[in-house]
Amino acid sequence: MLKTEMPSSQHLQLDQYPVPELVAALVDDQFDAVQAVRNAAPRIARAVEAAVPRIEAGGRLIYVGAGTSGRLGVLDSVELYPTFSWPHERAVALLAGGESAMFVAVEGAEDDHEQGARDLDGVRPTANDVVLALAASGATPYVLGALAAARAAGALTIGIANNTGSPVAEGAEIGITLDTGSEIISGSTRLKAGTSQKIVLNTLSSAIMVRLHKVYGNLMVDLKPTNAKLFARAVRLTVHATGADEARARAVLEQCGFHVKVAIVALQRQVPVQQAGKLLEQAQGSVRGALGA
């Protein structure tokens, strides 16, 4: 039996716990997710190093999963645009059962190996693409079908699973095994198995974006303001990075369409925003490079 499916030997009377003890048990169990990701850190680092050159060459991040794993892939893909101005078309999420499965479980969809391959082939994978195959069990047929199609296309494949020796991890070019063990509620991999996958996806995509110069210091300087909160954040980030007062920062941001990178370079180098944009372009989008730092 898969570890993720085995009944836990702890908290055998979970249904009889008082609420404070029940909450504490559920929260404390999540620490195993963090430890599992820590143990996999070398593999995660290898995945980032392998992915960056392909993404720099124009490749896409393609997420594939079913159920909780698939929904976590969708979540990571859609958040890259507001956080890093990453183009929608370069973060593609494939979910067993299609878009409707994001909200309502589509029974049996995860068991269709051929559909996984068809869905992956449908997005026309290339050798520069990076395919993130997610499955808590590590044996989901839909994901394995997509994984095989991705490998046939020459894409970089990264398999993320929660059971050791799983076909998803073993069949990918780089396998990341998050050994979270049995769940406190037996078989419910939406718990710490899902948490561990969320941490890995956050880490992978964020590390890639850092390497693509979407971050200056520890500031997210390539965000895409789409609401009042993000416009205010853009001003704060510019003020923090340059020491300019809020009025000056806002004025320069307005001149460059609230592109924080451009505003920082313009203020620090004391040049017009058009010149700041050219300096960034020459530095491949690196604020440090544009500043000559």
Q: Can 254 be counted among the known catalytic residues?
A: no
Arithmetic mean of pLDDT over the chain: 96
- Catalytic position from the list 5, 79, 99, 246: 79
In whole angstroms, what is the distance from residue 147 CA to residue 170 CA? 11
Kindly report, residue by residue over 14-49, the tens digit of the pLDDT: 999 999 999 999 999 999 999 999 999 999 999 999
pLDDT band at 106 (very low <50, low <70, confident <90, very high): confident
What is the residue extent of each domain of the chain?
3-211, 215-291
- The fraction of the chain above a pLDDT of 70, given in percent, is 100
Class of domain 3-211: alpha beta
DSSP codes, 256-280:
TTT-HHHHHHHHHHT--HHHHHHHH
| Residue-level pLDDT at 26 | 97
Q: Indicate the SS3 state at residue 33.
A: helix
Q: What is the pLDDT of residue 43?
A: 98
Q: Cα dist. 3→11, 67, 158, 159, 181 in Å?
A: 17, 18, 21, 18, 5
Q: Which of 56, 89, 110, 281 is catalytic?
A: 110
In tens, the pLDDT along 49-73 reads 999 999 999 999 999 999 999 999 9
Q: Is 110 a catalytic residue?
A: yes
DSSP category for residue 247: H
pLDDT band of 149, cuts 50, 70, 90: very high
Single-letter amino acid, residue 167: P
Q: Which CATH architecture has domain 215-291?
A: Orthogonal Bundle (1.10)
At 293 the pLDDT is 66
Mean pLDDT of 187-206: 97
Does the structure show a pLDDT above 80 at 103? yes
Distance between CA atoms of residues 118 and 249, nearest Å? 49
**Residue 89: C-alpha distances to residues 56, 173, 178, 206, 285 (Å):** 15, 24, 29, 18, 20
Q: What is the pLDDT of residue 275?
A: 97
In whole angstroms, give the CA distance from residue 20 to residue 34: 22
Which tens digits make up the pLDDT trace of 212-249? 999 999 999 999 998 999 999 999 999 999 999 999 99
Q: What is the mean pLDDT of residues 257-286?
A: 97
> Which amino acid is present at 31?
F
Number of neighbours of residue 76 by Cβ within 10 angstroms: 23
pLDDT at position 1 over 80: no
* Tokens found for residue 176: 């990341």
In the structure encoding, which two tokens stand for residue 198, read together? Answer: 């969320």
Identity of the amino acid at 29? D
